[in-house]
Amino acid sequence: MTRSSTLSAGADAPPLVDLDFHKRQKALSFALLLPAAFAVLTLILYPLIRVVEISFRDGRMMNFARISELPLGLGNYARVLGDANFWNACATSALYVTGSVGVGFLIGLATALLLNEKLPGTRFLRTLILLPWAVPGVIVAIMFLWLLDSSFGVFNAMLRDVGLLTGDFPWFVDSRSALISVVLATVWKTYPLITLTILAALQSVPRDLYEAAMIDGANRWNSFFDITWPGIKGPAYLVIMISALGVFRDIDIVFATTNGGPARATETLALYVYKEAFHYFRMGAATAVGTLMVGVAFFIAFLFAGLANRARY
């Protein structure tokens, strides 16, 4: 066989001159990380450290540049833990998250199962059902404020038409219904992601398992609990966790509908943090609550990640 000399220039030089290829490769892998590492360090980790630091600064300082001159102490934590409003916010958050994600999950599961039935037009219906996911939270809030408006909202008009309501009912203003209304708006925005995830999981459950189960005499109910659920529970736990974290963290919908009212009936922890910080300028209390929140979120995420991981086998 004829062979042209294909050794590259680098190879003609003594091999020890240039840096080891594998070390160069490693260096490159670090270099690629640098911008992200810089962004994460300055924009997330450093601010988070400041959050924890500020939570231990006792007293109040309106000049934020000098907030670090305050003495260290546990005053903020003591203050917050003794604040009835904090405990109210904890309860509200718990209700808000479980309500939104619970209902969202049921609707998501139902729609995913229906979409998976390969009915005519499901490809198109899927896109339509997913649309709310693309709507900004603030716009969701505005849409629902209008739908549920006391006097001119179409929802009350419908209730009046069927005779369930005479006169007006202020859904977002009445303390009995405010949280439910906020949950409703949140469910509308949250459930599409759950539908989508479960649908993808359903489509990865092997068809022949259902055939085998049918031969074994399983009815639809059995095959759901014995085949479908084990097949989708990993992704289901994951999407529940992601949705719950999202609802727990975000304040857009609550902020733009009720801003926590009436009388703190819809004040979630995330909103409590925001108000302590930017209405009352109690940065210490706000960061103390925030630190506790991240700790709890971490714990919950850990728990669910474990569940989802175990479900894989």
Partner 1 sequence: MSIRRILFWLVLAGFTVVTLFPFYWMVMTAIMPTDAILARSPSLLPDLSRASFAPFVEIFVDKPFLIWMRNSLIVNLICTTLSLLVAALAGYSLSRFTNRPQQALGASLLVSKLVPSSLILIPLFIIYSNIGLFNTYAGLVLANMTIGVPLATWLMKGFFDRIPRELEQAAMIDGATQLQALRQIVLPLARPGLAASTVYLVLTNWSEFIFARTLVDTPSRQVLTVGMQSFVGEQMVDWQLLMAAGTVSVLPAVILFIFLEPFLVSGMTKGALAGT
Partner 2 sequence: MAGIAIRDVRKSYGSLEVMHGVSLDIKDGEFVTLVGPSGCGKSTLLRMIAGLEAISGGTVEIGARVVNGLAPKDRNVAMVFQNYALYPHMTVAENMGYSLRLKRTPKAEYDGKIQRVAEILGLGELLQRYPGQLSGGQRQRVAMGRAIVREPDVFLFDEPLSNLDAKLRVQMRLEIKELHARLGTTVIYVTHDQIEAMTMADRIVVMRDGVVEQVGSPLELYDNPANAFVAGFLGSPSMNFLEGRLTGGADQGFELTAGTILRTGRQMPGDSSPALLGIRPESIRIEEGGTEVRIAAIEPTGADTHITASIAGQHLTIVINGRVSAKVGETIPVAVDPAALRYFAPEDGRRLA
**Residue 280 binds which of partner 2, partner 1, none (CB < 5-8 A, kind-dependent):** none
Residue 30: CB minimum distance to partner 2, A: 15
In contact, 251 and 185? CB cutoff 8 Å: no
Please, which residue, 99 or 191, has the CB nearer to partner 1? 191
**Residue 135 binds which of partner 1, partner 2, none (CB < 5-8 A, kind-dependent):** partner 1
Six token digits for residue 155: 């929802």
Residue 25: CB minimum distance to partner 2, A: 8
Residue 4: CB minimum distance to partner 2, A: 7
Residue type, 121: G
Name the residues that contact partner 2, by CB under 8 A: 1, 3-4, 6-8, 10-11, 15-16, 18-22, 24
Please, which residue, 33 or 91, has the CB nearer to partner 1? 33
Compute the distance between CA of residue 176 and CA of residue 262 in angstroms, rounded to an integer: 9
Residue 285: CB minimum distance to partner 1, A: 11
Looking up tokens 């139902």 gives 110
**Residue 79 binds which of partner 1, partner 2, none (CB < 5-8 A, kind-dependent):** none
Residue 311: CB minimum distance to partner 1, A: 13
DSSP bridge pairs for 72: 57
**Residue 211 binds which of partner 2, partner 1, none (CB < 5-8 A, kind-dependent):** none
b/e burial code for range 81-102 (CB count within 10 A of at least 16 → b): eeeeebebbbebbebbbebbbe
Residue 189: partners with Cβ closer than 8 Å, 6 or more residues away: 132, 133, 135, 137, 140, 253
**Residue 107 binds which of partner 1, partner 2, none (CB < 5-8 A, kind-dependent):** partner 1
Eight-state DSSP code of residue 11: H
Q: Can you say how many angstroms the Cα of residue 22 is from the centroid of all Cα atoms in its chain?
A: 40
Residue 179: CB minimum distance to partner 1, A: 19
Compute the distance between CA of residue 185 and CA of residue 7 in angstroms, rounded to an integer: 67
**Residue 97 binds which of partner 1, partner 2, none (CB < 5-8 A, kind-dependent):** none
Looking up tokens 């992200």 gives 36
Q: Can you say how many angstroms the Cα of residue 236 is from the centroid of all Cα atoms in its chain?
A: 14
Please, which residue, 9 or 215, has the CB nearer to partner 2? 9
